Amino acid sequence: MVHLKSDKEIERLRASADLVGRTLGEVAALVRPGVSTAELDKVAEEFIRDHGAEPAFKGYRVGSLVFPGTLCTSVNDQVVHGIPDNRPLEEGDVLSADCGVLLDGFYGDSAYTFAVGDISDEVSALLSTTYESLMLGIAQATTGKRLGDIGSAIQTHCEGRGYGVVKDLVGHGIGRQLHEDPQVPNFGRTGSGRKLKTGLTVCVEPMINRGTASVRTEGDGWTVKTADSLPSAHYEHMIAVRPGEADVLTTFRYIEEALDVLPYELTTSVA
């Protein structure tokens, strides 16, 4: 069941989305070699609770599995759902931090992949391409377009550069539930799939691998890794479908301010 949101509901979602962005901004200021993901997780949880919200991921259940962290912290070849731990980050690592909150009955959800110190040119290119694909996908999320248009834009951009587009994991609707219909694949055919209607709120989140698109799940039941152990990148925005241009509810502004960097510039378009 797809629930189209009213303008009032979208503003409630925007508030949740803003808190996610601010939380990731707090995390961004601390990402460096020697810091553990458990330390980042503690900061994120305290910040969320201090602002009158609850972590959306902590205690999240899938069958008998219960996620233990506030953040999903996925390092290097971990694609998504990495569990925070006490291992220190190392120079050259990449860290995907995925954060969710529940504020006044509405969920927020966003992810960003951080460079830990200096990273290789090859990995930097993976991150920038994944970021670009997110923006290209969002550009297709307008009234009258279809889900396949979003996926096709992401897939074309990334596979054209030799990267693997993960097909086992997808984006999702969001609202009063963390995961709502519809699913939002990062692959597809232009003009195919569900037609997008004004008021649909979804998370667009390309998960792109340096090598193969194939993934495997670790024994903890959560952590998804690349099958060839090459690194992966993951960015996520919450958006509301609107005529003409998508309304991006989340923001990376707080992250970029903390890192003192400019956002990646989109240099390539997809027809």
The model's pTM? 0.95
CATH architecture of 7-259: Alpha-Beta Complex (3.90)
Separation CA 171–CA 265 (nearest Å): 23
- CA-nearest of 87, 83, 100, 137 to 24 is 100
pLDDT score for 262: 66
pLDDT score for 269: 38
Domain boundaries defined on the chain: 7-259
83-95 pLDDT, tens digit each: 999 999 999 999 9
pLDDT score for 270: 37
Separation CA 17–CA 22 (nearest Å): 9
pLDDT score for 101: 98
In the predicted model, residues of the chain with pLDDT beneath 50 are 265-271
pLDDT score for 124: 96
pLDDT score for 271: 33
List Cβ neighbours of 189 (8 Å cut-off, separation of 6 or more): 148, 151, 152
State the DSSP code for 6: P
At residue 109, φ and ψ (nearest 5 deg) are -155, 130
Handedness of CA 225, 264, 132, 23 (dihedral sign): positive
Q: Is 208 helix (H, G, I), strand (E, B) or coil?
A: strand
pLDDT score for 1: 86
pLDDT score for 263: 64
Q: Is 271 helix (H, G, I), strand (E, B) or coil?
A: coil
